[in-house]
Each structure stands twice: as structure tokens, then as C-alpha cells.
Amino acid sequence: MKKSIACGACRTSKRRCIHSGGPPCIRCKERGDECIFPPKGTSFIFRRSRLERQQRAASSALPTDVSTVSSLLSAAAGPQGEATDDPDEQPKVNLWEKDPLEYVTDEVKESYMRCSYKWSFHHMPTFFAQIRNKTLDRSVAWAMLAITVRFSQKPPEGFSSQIQTSNYFAAHTRSLILPSIDEPSLQRIQVLLMLTGHSWGSGEGRRAWVYLGMAVRMAQIMGLFEDTPVTSPDTQDFIHGEERRRTAWTCFLMDSLLSGGKGRERLLSADSMQIQLPCDTSNFIFGESVLCPFIEGFRSDGTAKLPRGNMGIVAYSMRVADIWGAVAKWSCSSHPNNTPPWQAESELQRLLVRLNAWKDSLPPRLRYDLSLLHAHSVQNQGQAYCYMHCIHFMSVIFLYRSYLPELEMHEEAEHENGDRNQWTEFSCKELAKVADQVCEMLQDIRGFGFFFLRGLVPWIGFTIYTAIGTLLYFWHFPHVDEGDPQIESWRQRIIDGCVFLKDMRQAWPMADTWRETIKAMHIFYSNVKSKGNQAMSPSARREMRNAIIDYGALQPSPVQPADSCSEEDAMVRLFLCVRLSL
């Protein structure tokens, strides 16, 4: 079956598209852009000018009775901020001849400190001493640079953009690590975990999932998930053991957060983690030997002589990530014949009980409150605080969102069930409340400024995308009376969220995919509202539902055989993929 020979971006710019038979092409990869190969028969869309595509989208894709919605999304536009350098220009730097520590500036170190809550395995005093002494493992240094250079205010000399630099550093790191992939070491596991985060934030989901799997297998070979009990008061012994434990727990965290969608089964369960949870960060930094609980609680073996330590943000993040893993698996699978969600024995209610128990277990300083967010930001752990609560927010949203009427697509008779109607009303209120909390948090963290924002990892952007997608649904299908001030509030929240995602793509290109999905959701909801069940075929509706529910760490190839889908289905895929500027 013949397939497109050029991606949409190269067609539009009339450039040669160099690729290996599918996305991404070299040009899109270097720019950090999503690479789209249009289905057969639809490539003409990409040959129109950008202005014409925008005008057609505004005039024909949206129903006239909701024309005001176009201003809702277009208001999130603004300067494109495209790099003035030629994106096709290769960096004139040979990294094999470079010392990575030449690029480790104070700005880079500060950026890594701010996002180290996701890669919490480095003992920072030792890490920075190795940088000063020039003894830091080179692959670790390049991996750290691949993550942090995204947040630099300007690219290093010889590079055209921060994203190009980040991708170039990541490619070099891969060339260093892959030849020795069958020789497990703690540093190689850490490098693979950092490359996993880089790849997922770049929209390279398959690569991220594979690298994470490599890291987990290495950790299993090294026995990191069955560490020896903490018994020694020696500082260096404790630091080394804690670094091993935190590396193992980072495998667990990333496995939980990236799992759940199509083809992404968790490799690690809570039962796999036969090690204590990470200690509080201050204990780790100062090398204070303490005992911490396991994921299910403290274990009494009668041999421990060390004091019990407090759990910090990292440990509580691991516990809620375990719940998220179960939530994601449940919400990304079909469950039409399961126990109704309003009944106590349903899986949804069981998961809600676990989430509420986690929330109730938090010490007062770690519970969610905007004033506490400000306090934690002063202590340089505001991003970690947001990260932990975003995992909780996402879990709640995914549970309730699975039963929104236009997503579930059940027969009308089922919607007339009294219990179901009552449940739908309740779940809508809970959904709107949590989504509004996320957007309220967004307003505050944007006020913290550039240095705070550059420490945000993709998961926080994913949470914001999910929240504004939820509010977009309620803007189209409000569960409140017409004229309720909440409706206008939701509109503004959506605009602010789209602006945030637009800004975030400068560091994490994955944000562009989320922003385009928001646009596709808007078109989908507008058509459903104006045309009802006849708006799209069942297969097209399933396509949209999968795009909303399956959060897409593994992106399917947009190149589809011509006879495998209808023209309508192909257009849905284009709405999900085509890059239209907000």
C-alpha cells in the first residue's frame, strides 16, 4: 500500500522530507515538532497556505451557532515565538570532542535542582562535588544537560534553539549508553530514566516506553527492588543505599505514570517494591540514617536500631502514583458491564476510597492549599508539591470523566436511568471542582515567574491539559443553569490553559499535541451539540474518545492504509494531528 512520502510540515514549507519510512523526519525531529504523515487522499490540506487553513477551520469546521467559541480558542494565540534560525541547519558542534561539563553553567545546575523531584536519585552535595572535581560520569552529564538546556534563556554557542540543543544532547547520550546496554550499572539506569523523561516530553512515546523498560530490567538484574534492610548508621553507607532505593522508586514512579494507555501495562506493582520508601529529602542530603515505611507501611523485623524518619513529598508521591497506575489501567479499558459506579462495591468506588485514604494520610504541611503552595515554593519545593498533587488530581479526574455522557456513548435508554442521572450530576460537580482547582493552581504558579516555571515537568502540563479539556466539555454541555457565572469562568480558564500549553511547548514539545487535542475536542463537542448522534460515525466517535482517554505516551502512526478507514475517520485523525496555531 503506497504511503505519503513527505510529512505535513515539509509539504507546507516545500522542503525535502528526509525520513526512514515514517515519522519523525529529520527536520521535525531537530525542531522538536510533531511529525505528521497525512493519510492518503488528505495531503492536499497541507498544501494550502497556513492562513487559508486557519480561515477554513474557523469558517467551515465550526458550526455557526457556536461561532463565538472560535474566539475562545483563538484568544489563546499570540506571538508564535518561532526561532529565526534555519531549523534545517545542523549544529556545527562535534560532541565527541566536547567535555559536557563545559556546558554545565550555574543556570543549568539551578534548573536541574528545580526539576530533580522527578529524578530524585542524585545526592546533590555529591553530585555537585563531582561536577566541580570533573569526575561526574559523562553519560550522566549529557543526560542532565538534555533535560535542563530546554530551560536555558538562550542556546549554547553553535546551536539554533534550546530544543535543538536538547535533542542533540539526548542523541549523543543515547550513542554513549546503548553500546553498553547489557552491562547494568546504577549510572546507566539513571541515564535511561532521564532519557525516558526527555523522550516523553518530546512526544517520542515509543522510545520513552522502551527506555523505561530497559531501566527496569537493569534494576531487576541489580536487585534494586529487593534491597537489604537499613541497619548501618554510617553516613556514606546510608547515602549509597538511599541512592539505590531512589533509583528503584523512580523506575516505579515513571512506570506507574506512563502506564495505563493502549499497550502500556505496568511492569512494576506495589508487591514488586520490597524496599522502604524514600526518606525525607533533608535526611538524604545530610546522610542521616533513618528507617522509613514500605509502601504498605512499617514492617517490624525486630532488628532495627535506627530512628524512624518522616515521609516527605517524594515518598507520598510514590504512594499516590501506585493508585494512579490502577486508575489509569481501569479508565483506559472498557467496562460497560461492570458494577454501576455509584455502588460501593464498584471498582471506581474502591479506587476513590484509596485516594481519599491517601489524602487523609498527608501531614498538615503537605495537604493541598494555595497558601501551602506558596510556602513550599519559598523552600524551593513548590514544583514537587504541585507534582504530587497533580497525580492525585489526575486520578480523580480520570475516574469521574469515564462516565461523561458524550464520552461513554451508551444508548439513550441507559441515560434515562434515574440512578445514572443522579450519578452523572454528582460526578459532573466533582469533576468541575477538581478541574477548577487545577486551573486555580495554574494561575498561581504562573505568577511565580520564569524560574519556577522552568522546573515543571511534562506531567504537570498533562494535568493542566486534562483539566482544561474537562472544562471545555462543561462549557459545551454545562450542568449548571444558563447564565451561571461559572460558565464564563470556565471559558477564561480554557483560554489561560491554552496559553500555558503554548508557552510550555518551548521546553516540552509534547504540549503541542495536547493543545491540538483540545482544538479537536472543541470541534467534536460543537458537532455533537449541533447534530446530535449523527455528527460522527461510531468509529469516529471512538477515535475521539481514545484520544481523550488514552493520554498518548505511545502515539500510533498517523500513516494509515487508504482502505482502512473512512474519509470521515481520516478527518478526525487530521483534527487530532494537524498543526493549527491557536
Q: Which residue has the higher pLDDT, 471 or 403?
A: 471
Has residue 81 got a pLDDT over 60? no
pLDDT above 70: percentage of residues in the chain: 76
Q: Encode burial over 233-262: b for 16+ CB neighbours within 10 A, e otherwise.
A: eeeeebbebbbbbbbbbbbbbbbbbbbbbe
Has residue 324 got a pLDDT over 90? yes
pLDDT of amino acid 550: 56
Has residue 556 got a pLDDT over 70? no
pLDDT of amino acid 407: 57
For 390-416, what is the mean pLDDT? Answer: 72
Model confidence at 44, pLDDT cuts 50, 70, 90, reads: very low
For 426-436, what is the mean pLDDT? Answer: 92
Q: Which residue has the higher pLDDT, 86 or 338?
A: 338
Has residue 190 got a pLDDT over 90? yes
pLDDT of amino acid 42: 43
For 121-145, what is the mean pLDDT? Answer: 95
pLDDT of amino acid 336: 63
The cell for 280 is: 525525607
pLDDT of amino acid 476: 87
pLDDT of amino acid 48: 42
Has residue 99 got a pLDDT over 80? yes
Are 138 and 176 contacting, i.e. CB atoms less than 8 angstroms apart? yes
Q: Where are the alpha helices (DSSP H) in 222-280?
A: 235-258
Q: What is the mean pLDDT of the chain?
A: 79
Long-range pairs, 244-247, Cβ under 8 A, ≥24: 244/186, 245/275, 245/276, 245/278, 246/120, 246/121, 246/278, 246/284, 246/314, 247/121, 247/186, 247/189, 247/190, 247/193, 247/219
Has residue 54 got a pLDDT over 60? no
For 526-534, what is the mean pLDDT? Answer: 76
Phi, psi of 559 (to 5 degrees): -80, 110
For 518-545, what is the mean pLDDT? Answer: 76
pLDDT of amino acid 6: 81
CA dist., res. 344 & res. 418, Å (int): 17
Model confidence at 47, pLDDT cuts 50, 70, 90, reads: very low
pLDDT of amino acid 79: 41
Query: How far is CA 398 from each of CA 76, 138, 343, 474, rounded to the nearest angstrom?
Result: 25, 40, 18, 15
Phi, psi of 291 (to 5 degrees): -95, 135
pLDDT of amino acid 552: 44
Has residue 515 got a pLDDT over 70? yes
Q: Which residue has the higher pLDDT, 327 or 14?
A: 327
Has residue 130 got a pLDDT over 80? yes
Are 178 and 210 contacting, i.e. CB atoms less than 8 angstroms apart? no
Coil, strand or helix at 348? helix
Rounding to the nearest 10 degrees, give the CA dihedral for residues 461, 466, 470, 471. 0
For 520-537, what is the mean pLDDT? Answer: 78
Are 474 and 525 contacting, i.e. CB atoms less than 8 angstroms apart? no
CA dist., res. 170 & res. 174, Å (int): 6
Model confidence at 548, pLDDT cuts 50, 70, 90, reads: low
Q: Where are the domains of the chain?
A: 1-77+523-582
Q: How far is CA 559 from the centre of its chain?
A: 24
Model confidence at 408, pLDDT cuts 50, 70, 90, reads: low
